[in-house]
Amino acid sequence: MVAMDLFRSEEMTLVQLIIPAESAHDTVTYLAELGLLQFKDLNPERSPFQRTYANQVKRCGEMSRKIRYFQDQITKSGRTAAYRPLRDKDIGVDELEAKLTDLEAELLEINANTDKLQRTHSELTEFQLVLHKAGAFFSSVRNAANTVQQRADIENGSSIGEAIDRPLLQEQTEPSKQARLGFITGVIPKIKAASFERILFRATRGNMFLKQASIEDAVVDPATGEKIEKTVFVIFFSGERAKTKISKICDAFGANCYPFPEESSRQGHMKTEVDNRLLDLQHTLDAGINHRDNVLNSIGNNLDQWTVMVRREKAVYHTLNMLSIDVTRKCLVAEGWCPVSAKPKIQDALQRAAFVSNSQVNTIFQVLHTKESPPSYFETNKFTNAFQEIVEAYGVGRYQEANPGCFTIITFPFLFAVMFGDWGHGICLLLGALYLVLNEKKLGSKKLGDIMEMAYGGRYVILLMAIFSIYTGFIYNEFFSVPFGFFGGSAYRCPDSQYSIESCPMATTSGMEKWSYEPYAFGVDPIWHGSRSELPFTNSLKMKMSILLGIAQMNLGILLSYFNARYFRSALDVWYQFIPQLLFLNALFGYLSFLIVLKWCQGSKPDLYHVMIYMFLSPTEDLGENQLFMGQTFVQIVLLLVALVAVPWMLFPKPLILRKRHVQKMQGRAYGMLRESDTESTDLEIDGEHDEEEFEFGEVLVHQMIHTIEFVLGAVSNTASYLRLWALSLAHAQLSAVFYDRVLMFAWGYTNPIIRLIGLIVFASVTFGVLLLMETLSAFLHALRLHWVEFQNKFYLGDGYKFQPFSFRTLSEEDDL
């Protein structure tokens, strides 16, 4: 297919496909791989749940959920899914669905068992710590009690053996009043330990004894699975009532209580048993984790392939739901837009789909004729796509109207460069653009941030902006605000011959003297830099240049409106829109542009402000010293009359002619239908009244009045708006000069290398942050406004809709949801 240029969108046609039911899936799949057909929804009245393939879409959604679950599990395990290119017919959808179900069930079971084992492992770890800490406490207390008892028994004459045989928690009272103290052991989060102790004291009214021992390292909590700092506690109490209260308080604070034997022999036996169980449990956990890792590895090797496959399958069924089903349910009817040049490719794809699906009947392909407006389609490449996106951000063009995108490729970066002109800054911008362009394959395969993604998408726009900035920088003769005499000598010199041009003290006072009539070869003469007339000269130059560029671009926009009118065969728009607009704009501001160029050529000093103002206030007055050519007064009167005539020329004829055509059309239709029967005449009368309501002369007249007023006022405001080229250029140059003189040169005035280094760093930072970032963004936005408002409103309606074919290449992660 030969690609059309960007001036007009490609010719589109509405086609109808009658697809056999057995080949519908393969047909839509092949068309999606081709990506040149935009399907129309033929079931707009049906909800998604009422459509034919709703169950298939639901199945694909469920498979997408399982794939996202696998992706989450792989991410949590610290792995990345391996990429493997999609190979057709590797696995069927039904087989994939069964496989995903089995893998999900297996993974859920593995995770449940692992969680259960991990919880048991955490509980045993806490139990082990309780045995260690509480055992140490009981051992120390028992040793202390035995020592005290031995001393008492020796004093009372008792034997040492009898003292040792007495229980630790048995009160040494009379046998009738003998009782044992109970105790509870466990662990509690360290942050709750203080509150836990206060509540216990209040609940038991002080009839308890609490002993705590901090655990050095954080332990895994069995309930949450998170590592937290905990404390081992032992609570001594007396009575069942106190035990019940303490147990409830432990439950309320989330304390984990564990049994602890009093006897030393049982403690040792339990420690050994817990250690063995922990060892066996760790082996089981390791084996389970290895098995889980193997399952995740096998899933990760195929995850990208499955994701693409399910995503495509879901998109195919979504598209099939847009098709209408024949009453016999043996075929599906599809309608859609496609480029005329793509019809052979689409027919070839239909034949291949019928062959693959073994269908006995081929898909019927036919063109439909409709008055519906087709979508706009521009075949772009990686270079032109960004410029087309700039245009379509304002609005998608109407079908086959003139596209400003092909002109924007040059005018947008050029107007940016007019405001940004500095070849030093342009080189910095060029280096950044070259990095993006030369590494586009590498960067395109990565996931970039939002800002970097925008810069990468517009890399060729930035490249052209940088190139044009270098060009305008040479015209302005500015390199970080420093001029260079690359293109020959200056036409000026210092009046005092003992001084050079650079050191002339009169440059900022009386000025230089002109000694040569040969101008500087290219750009602004470097002698203007630093002179007392630098700002008046550059302001005048840039202001007049902005007006010339603005008038030229607005004339281009009006000229494009002529090509639109000619293409759509609208003679009314040519005679009553294009011609009066062209005359009005150029009778006033085109004449101003002519005076600017003439003044530059003659080298005279007339006041153009005075000329333009008195052209309206006193057109017959003698211009005197402001006259630039013979007969200027007469020419100005003629131009003023032309501008005045152009306003009603735009306003009245077009609505009146449209009304006349409508009346003639209705009369002709009525005379033709009067030959029919009376009944048909009655129907005609009703239809005629309905058609009359569709054409409202007042509405058309008001619309034309608004359009005329908008153009007349816009001619003034748009011309003034182009002065932003001068304002932004002046601001950029002055900021650059301030940073150079007040930062870099100020630091260079010192001999200390540290101060010079600091000054260089500050200069580089403000240059990058302010001039290369903020000023670039500012100039970009102003150039964008000049194209959207001042240029495109002359011819570009932008009320169309974009061609969005069904294509696998445009599917994204959002389609999985």
pLDDT tens-digit profile of 621-667?
Answer: 888 888 888 999 999 999 999 999 999 999 999 999 999 988 888 88
Fill in the amino acid letter for 236: F
Confidence tier at 130 by pLDDT (50, 70, 90): confident
The pLDDT value recorded for residue 537 is 86
54 in Cβ contact with 270 (< 8 Å): no
Ordered by start, the domain boundaries in the chain are 12-106+288-367, 116-144+180-273, 383-487+522-667+697-794
pLDDT tens digits, 733-762: 999 999 999 999 999 989 899 999 999 999
Query: Average pLDDT, whole number, for the chain?
Result: 86
Distance CA 788, CA 792 (A): 5
Contact 535, 508 (CB under 8 A): no
Q: Is 51 helix (H, G, I), strand (E, B) or coil?
A: coil
Determine the average pLDDT of the residues in 474-502: 74
pLDDT at 779 over 70: yes
The whole-number average pLDDT for the span 385-404 is 93
pLDDT at residue 502 greater than cutoff 70 = no
HSE (side-chain half, CA atoms, 13 Å) at 685: 5
Domain spanning 116-144+180-273: CATH 2.40.110.10: no
Is residue 559 predicted with pLDDT exceeding 50? yes
What's the pLDDT score for residue 478? 92
Q: Provide the β-strand partners of residue 170.
A: 180
CA distances from 758 to 153, 425, 547, 749, 763 (A): 86, 21, 42, 13, 9
Distances 299 to 67, 73, 572 between C-alpha atoms, Å? 9, 10, 67
Three-state secondary structure call for residue 333: strand
pLDDT given for residue 336 in this prediction: 95
- Top pLDDT among 506 and 292 is at 292
Distance of CA 109 to CAs 64, 522, 747, Å?
Answer: 20, 79, 70
Give residue-wise pLDDT tens across range 304-319.
889 999 999 999 999 9
Helix H or strand E encompassing 326: none
pLDDT at 577: 94
Alpha helices in 603-677 (DSSP H): 608-617, 632-651, 653-673
How many CA atoms lie less than 13 Å away from 461 in the CB half-sphere? 25
pLDDT score at 690: 42
Print burial letters for 436-449: b (CB count within 10 Å at least 16), e (below 16): bbeeeeebeeeeee
- Whether the pLDDT of residue 442 is over 80: the answer is yes
Q: Cα separation of 376 and 397, whole Å?
A: 7
d(C-alpha 78, C-alpha 221), whole Å? 22
Backbone angles phi, psi at 321, to 5 degrees: -70, -15
Question: Rounded mean pLDDT of 698-717?
Answer: 93
Q: What is the pLDDT of residue 545?
A: 95
Task: Give the integer Cα–Cα distance in Å for 38 and 376.
Answer: 11
Is the pLDDT confidence value at 50 over 90?
Answer: no
SS (H, E, C) 368-388: ECCCCCCCECCCCCCCHHHHH
Residue type, 264: S
Average pLDDT over residues 210-219: 87
Structure tokens at 107: 């993974």
Which pLDDT belongs to residue 485?
Answer: 78
H-state helical runs in 578-630: 579-585, 591-602, 608-617
3-state secondary structure of 183: strand
pLDDT, tens digit, for every residue of 511-537?
A: 555 656 677 778 888 877 777 778 888
Average pLDDT over residues 253-270: 85
Give the mean pLDDT of 192-197. 90
- Is residue 161 scored above 80 in pLDDT? no
Beta strands 230-237 and 209-214 are: antiparallel
Average pLDDT, stretch 211-224? 86
Q: Bridge partners of 13?
A: 338
Residue percentage of the chain with pLDDT more than 90: 53
Percentage of the chain modeled with pLDDT above 70: 87
pLDDT bracket for residue 483 (50, 70, 90): confident
pLDDT tens digits along 573-617 = 999 999 999 999 999 999 999 999 999 888 778 888 889 998 988
**Tokens of residue 476, six digits:** 């302005």
Q: What is the pLDDT of residues 672-693, one digit of tens each?
A: 655 554 444 444 343 444 444 4
Q: Report d(CA 668, CA 670) in Å as an integer.
A: 5
- How distant, in Å, are the alpha carbons of 387, 440, 764 from that of 443? 20, 5, 27
Secondary structure class of 331 (helix, strand, coil): strand
The backbone torsions φ and ψ at residue 62, rounded to the nearest 5 degrees and listed phi first, read -70, -40
Positive or negative: CA dihedral 551, 557, 558, 560: positive
Model's pTM, two decimal places? 0.79
pLDDT at 679: 45
pLDDT value of residue 817: 52
* 694-702 average pLDDT score: 87
Backbone angles phi, psi at 237, to 5 degrees: -150, 175
Q: How many CB atoms lie within 10 A of CB 150?
A: 15
Q: What is the pLDDT of residues 70-89, one digit of tens each?
A: 999 998 887 765 555 544 44
- What pLDDT digit, counting tens, does each position of 615-624 carry? 988 888 888 8
Three-state DSSP at 230 gives strand
pLDDT greater than 70 at residue 508: no
